[in-house]
A = this chain, B = another copy of it.
């Protein structure tokens, strides 16, 4: 009566038999006794240990962390603090994903989602994470409608420039120069006119200019960038 079969213990603890097998296999919660035929018999001490393991698991610790937590029970506090830090990081990560997704869902038609994503992806090759964070918070400050308007302008601008490029229009053509001016203007709006952010973006651009063709991985875009650069120079 003071020994528990694996099935009864599973029901009592809310875990599965397989889980208890696993804990036994890895030596985390071992049944101290066996019947002559090999069936596991859990003692009250085993059961108590299982409950400790379950508690620690419910705090999100890994099995290895649980093991070390139970091996030196005086050092629970640092383990918990580390776990809390890890959870905080996770929470921030999840929140970042959530805000990205809500921004996308709020401001885009289904058709524009993929192209926007591609743009974002390419941008993340140009800019550092910090700089992107700046840009994003600026976008949040502008509000979804304004950002949506800016993005629409941007897509239109890129489409027109690509067409001129495909048509062989020289970069010095006044129409192209005007589009390049709009490109820079839009860029300024994206950075919110904030000189620091703008300078950071500019600096990132300058520093990476030489290696951009090997980093972007999207040749057509490189052509566009150079095209705009030449048009800007012709101004």
Residues of A within 8 A of B (CB): 1-2, 4, 8-9, 11-14, 44, 47-48, 50-52, 54-56, 58-60, 73-77, 80-81, 83-84, 87-88, 90-91, 94-95, 97-98, 100-102, 104-105, 110-111, 113-114, 117-118, 120-122, 124-125, 214-220
Contact = CB atoms under 8 A, between A and B. Distances in A.
Contact of A118 (B9, B48, B59): B48
Contacts of A55: 117-118, 120-121
* Identical copies in the complex: 2
Contacts of A217: 4, 8-9, 12-13, 47, 50-51
B117 A105 contact: no
Contact of A80 (B80, B101, B125): B101
Given A47-B219, A55-B117, A58-B124, 14 more contacts: A1-B219, A4-B217, A8-B214, A12-B125, A12-B214, A44-B220, A47-B217, A51-B118, A51-B121, A52-B121, A59-B97, A73-B114, A84-B98, A91-B91
A219 to B, nearest CB: 6
Main secondary structure on A side of the interface with B: helix
B113 A77 contact: yes
Given A77-B110, A77-B113, A98 B102 contact: no
Contacts of A77: 105, 110, 113
A152 to B, nearest CB: 18
Contacts of A121: 51-52, 54-55, 58
B101 A84 contact: yes
A114 B61 CA distance: 14
Given A51-B121, A51-B218, A60 B97 contact: yes
A12 B216 contact: yes
Contact of A117 (B2, B52, B84, B101): B52
